[in-house]
Amino acid sequence: MRIERQISALLFVIAIAASAAAAQAGAAIMARDEPAEGIGRAAESSKGFGGSGSVSSSGNKTASSKRKPAAKTTTAGKTTPAKPKPWNGFVVGDKYTFLNFEVVSAEKPWYTRDAKANGAKGLVQVEVLIDTNGSVIEARARTGNKLLHPEAERAALASKFNRPTFGGKPARAIGFLVYRFGPADDDD
């Protein structure tokens, strides 16, 4: 039993080191500068980019046009996704699983003028819960400057992933994405 714990601890340390190395090596999703006044964000926000993950053979793209977005609730002017439904199936991964390479369509966050003016920059990790259809149903920023969290979470919620499976059956997945705000040489 003691050896299993040591192996688990070693795998945990390796996973953390690998995710940090991958983020430093350019695997982080780059934020884009907020457009100048008068240029609409709506037209720009529809331009995501294809991630380097492979498209699964389960037909991920065929169902995307028929999917309905998760219900949203508005409280005090802030839009948040509805709570996910209870799940009794498999959950793949954990909160230390680096998912940038599983993204099929990643939305880039905006690097807002307010964040730049306040000196906010660097990497932001966002923990995500992915539904069986590959859409993100929960996103929570956990590292980085707090001024960058809302945009990183918004971008994570708009991203699409390969459909998670376990043993050939649909599953949910947990992991994290890394976003970079500002140039790579500016990381703190």
Select the more confidently predicted residue: 1 or 3: 3
Q: What is the pLDDT of residue 26?
A: 53
138 close to 187: Cβ distance less than 8 angstroms: no
70 close to 149: Cβ distance less than 8 angstroms: no
Location of structure tokens 């998912």:
99
CB under 8 A, 24+ apart: contacts of 33-42? 33/110, 33/111, 34/110, 34/111, 34/112, 34/113, 41/110
Domain assignment of residue 85, given as a range: 2-186
Q: Is the pLDDT of residue 131 over 90?
A: yes
Q: Is the pLDDT of residue 80 over 90?
A: no
Q: What is the pLDDT of residue 169?
A: 92
70 contacts: CB under 8 Å, gap ≥ 6: 81, 82, 135, 137
Q: Is the pLDDT of residue 82 over 80?
A: no
Q: What is the pLDDT of residue 147?
A: 96
Cβ neighbour number for residue 20 with a 10 Å cutoff? 14
Give the mean pLDDT of the chain.
73
How far apart (Å, rounded) are the C-alpha atoms in residues 31 and 24?
A: 15
Summarize pLDDT for 32-70 with one digit per residue, the tens.
888 876 455 544 444 333 333 322 333 333 333 333 444
What is the CATH number for 167? 3.30.2420.10
Q: 160 falls in which pLDDT band (50, 70, 90)?
A: very high
| Mean pLDDT confidence for 77-96 | 73
Number of domains in the chain: 1
The model carries a pTM of 0.63
The percentage of the chain sitting over the pLDDT mark of 70, rounded to a whole number, equals 60
